[in-house]
Structure 1
Amino acid sequence: MNSRWDYRTQPLALALAALALVAFGYLLHGFASVPAMGLLHIVAFKLADARHLPSLTSDMLALKERCTLKGKPYIRSVVGGKQSSPEGKDGGMQVVFLLEFENQADADYYIFDDPAHTAFKDAIGALGVEGVTVLDFVPGVF
């Protein structure tokens, strides 16, 4: 085939067109419209009795709205789910949550001073929590 647009060049042309559209969007709206990744806070729980998992889950997810700073919620996002790694390295942790904060100061407030988070920590013993693992990191900072 002598055509410039045969089956071998068409995928490349489509990929370049998509890239051009994305670049044009950034030029129109600016890179500032793309939020920077903040501090990520990972919390994993081990429960003595899995029957308490729904309560723990709803209470943990509710922290996104319950935790406020200067009258406004400050946790960017909260997601979670059942631990599902087949590697056998989970340490018995059954459920994992990932919280995102804008910065270290917000995470520190959450960890040390937020009354809603303190109340949550005080209440999880009644839910049969036997273990907690917490890790924090900033993406790209090593």
Structure 2
Amino acid sequence: MTITHIVMLKYPEGTSEATIKQTLDDAIALKSTCLHPKTGKPYMLSVKAGRDNSPEGIQNGFTHLFVMEFENAEDRDYYVAKDPVHQVYVKMLGALPIGAVMVMDFEGGCY
């Protein structure tokens, strides 16, 4: 079963649109720049990113998100803990004015 990795970002008021766009563009680029350690090829199945537009009003201040899909937990675990390109991205995020980050993963069909 595939693993879906969801990252939600809470940008403070006044964060520039350019900063937000670059953050999300960089997240999307991870699909092609994160390479599998054994094959040397991209290993993410998909990446989507964007601004929240839910009419429900229960976002708790989270404004943007990206969603990644991995073939299995092993690939997700490598991405989270070891992928050097992802590690650089995490450091870049840490240097930005982001109020909060929430990360959740799930495997479809597991309840």
Match of 2:7 among 43, 48, 56: 43
Paired with 1:135 and 1:125, the residues of 2 have a C-alpha distance of: 18
Count the aligned residue pairs.
106
Bigger helix share: 1
Give ranges in structure 1 of 5+ residues lacking alignment: 1-36
Percent identical pairs in the alignment equals: 41
Paired with 2:70 and 2:24, the residues of 1 have a C-alpha distance of: 19
Paired with 1:74 and 1:117, the residues of 2 have a C-alpha distance of: 13
In the TM superposition, residue 46 of structure 1 has moved relative to its aligned partner by 1.1
Runs of 4+ in 1 over 2 A off after TM superposition: none
In the TM superposition, residue 50 of structure 1 has moved relative to its aligned partner by 4.0
Paired with 1:89 and 1:114, the residues of 2 have a C-alpha distance of: 33
Task: Say if 2:55 is the partner of 1:86.
Answer: yes
Query: 1:80 touches 1:95 (CA, 8 Å); kept in 2?
Result: yes
Paired with 2:16 and 2:70, the residues of 1 have a C-alpha distance of: 29
Query: 1:41 touches 1:100 (CA, 8 Å); kept in 2?
Result: yes
In the TM superposition, residue 126 of structure 1 has moved relative to its aligned partner by 3.0
Can you list the C-alpha shifts for 1:106-142, whole angstroms capped at 9, x where unaligned?
Answer: 0000111111111000011333222111110111111
Task: Say if 2:64 is the partner of 1:95.
Answer: yes
Paired with 1:94 and 1:66, the residues of 2 have a C-alpha distance of: 25
2:100 is matched by which residue type in structure 1? G
In the TM superposition, residue 72 of structure 1 has moved relative to its aligned partner by 0.9
Could you state the TM-score of these two structures normalised by the residue count of structure 1?
0.70
Larger Rg: 1
Q: In structure 2, what is the equivalent of residue 136 of structure 1?
A: 105
Match of 2:35 among 49, 58, 68: 68
Paired with 1:84 and 1:44, the residues of 2 have a C-alpha distance of: 13
Give ranges in structure 2 of 5+ residues lacking alignment: none
Please, what is the CA RMSD of the aligned residues? 1.2
Could you state the TM-score of these two structures normalised by the residue count of structure 2?
0.88
